[in-house]
Copies of this chain bind each other. A is one copy, B any other.
Amino acid sequence: MASDEEYMRLALAAARKAGNATWRNPRVGSCLVKDGKVLATGFHQHYGGFHAERDTISKLTPEQLSNSTIYVTLEPCCHYGKQPPCTQLIIDSGIKRVVVGETDPHSLVTGKGIAALRQAGLEVSTGLLAKEASQLNEHYNYFYQTGLSYVTLKQAMTLDHMLAKKGVRTAITGAEAWTRVHQERAGYQAVLIGSETAIIDDPLLLTSEDLVHPPVRVVLDRRGRLLEHLDLRLFSDKRAETWILTENPAFLEQDMPKQVKIFALSDGKISTSIKILADQGVQSVYAEGGAHLQESLLAAGLVNDVISYVAPRFLGRGTEAAVAAEALDLKDVQTEQVGDDVRIYGRIKDV
């Protein structure tokens, strides 16, 4: 007979199957066990779809469910969202024991789901493999714990710290790193760049995945420089939304294609920009540059982690990458060769 931990690992594995499809919802998996036998596993497959508990329970008969144990990576919800509350479903199904990984950081849920189950007479254990469970949803957790978007600073630079030749779109890293960046973007709800990068690179900022909710392409354009560059692909390409954050009131008057939204900044502080994104429900931001934008994020203490692609080449004097305002050590460092380039990952903030 397997242990609680082994059943929870099955639930964790199920949760991971969702990839990036849960969007603003957490990844959740569950596993139903009776008399030492795994009867079903399930997971939250995509935003708007069944929650993990319902996905699992719907596969079984009332007889199978009666007196069974359900393992779920995240505290079951007890409120009506896109789906009716899972706590009621669990109670109604005749399950007698619930083993929970992580307590939901979402204030609408925290502790309440567990309380509701206990009140109905079910046995509830919490915190089993809680660390692994929380790793499923680092962005979601941070967003609900702090009210801020989780920010990953991503750089691609040469050994002499250059991002590009001055004023020219420059491929710094190789094809493998390029592919990897497109994969990484898919794990975020927004990709953020500055106006200079938008103008010089004319990027599309798409991902390698065909997502129902691709990351929003956000350009911080305080002065409204993009008003002179309305031919940029970010304005015409319809595969994702494009948001412009600006202090220039003329931008708000400008006629724009449907997928483009303009947000007014009340001041030039980078925290104001991130606040707007968080208010829009953006849980995670992949901040690609340029250097000035990244320096602001670092200086404001808004960066959660850093991904640096270092290309094994010198460029000579050009547009330089970000320099921090003060010393910052990275934690949980991971290094990897990606093609001929090096990918260095590390955290600034603890999770």
Contact = CB atoms under 8 A, between A and B. Distances in A.
Nearest to A170: B327
A297 to B, nearest CB: 12
Nearest to A326: B316
A344 B309 CA distance: 12
A310 B160 contact: no
Contact of A325 (B308, B316, B333): B316
Interface in A281-338: 298, 306, 308, 310, 312-317, 320-330, 333, 335, 337
A224 interface: no
A161 interface: yes
State how many copies of this chain the complex holds.
2
B298 A327 contact: no
A310 B342 contact: yes
A159 interface: yes
Contacts of A342: 310, 335, 342, 344
Contacts of A161: 160-161, 320-321, 323
Among A306, A325, A335, chain B packs the most CB atoms within 10 A around the CB of: A335
A94 interface: no
Contacts of A10: none
B324 A160 contact: yes
Given A161-B160, A333-B312, A323 B328 contact: no
Contacts of A316: 323-327
A33 to B, nearest CB: 40
A245 to B, nearest CB: 25
Interface size class of A (residues with CB under 8 A): 20 to 34
A346 interface: yes
Given A160-B161, A342-B335, A310 B313 contact: no
A139 to B, nearest CB: 21
A260 interface: no
Contacts of A314: 298, 323-324, 326-328
A303 to B, nearest CB: 10
A340 interface: yes
A162 interface: yes
A344 to B, nearest CB: 5
A328 B162 CA distance: 12
A320 B316 CA distance: 14
B162 A312 contact: no
A286 to B, nearest CB: 17
A337 B159 CA distance: 16
Nearest to A348: B314
A322 B313 CA distance: 12
20 contacts: A159-B308, A159-B330, A159-B344, A161-B161, A161-B321, A306-B312, A308-B312, A310-B310, A310-B342, A312-B330, A312-B344, A313-B327, A313-B330, A314-B324, A315-B324, A316-B324, A316-B326, A317-B323, A335-B342, A342-B344
Interface of A: 155, 159-162, 298, 306, 308, 310, 312-317, 320-330, 333, 335, 337, 340, 342, 344, 346
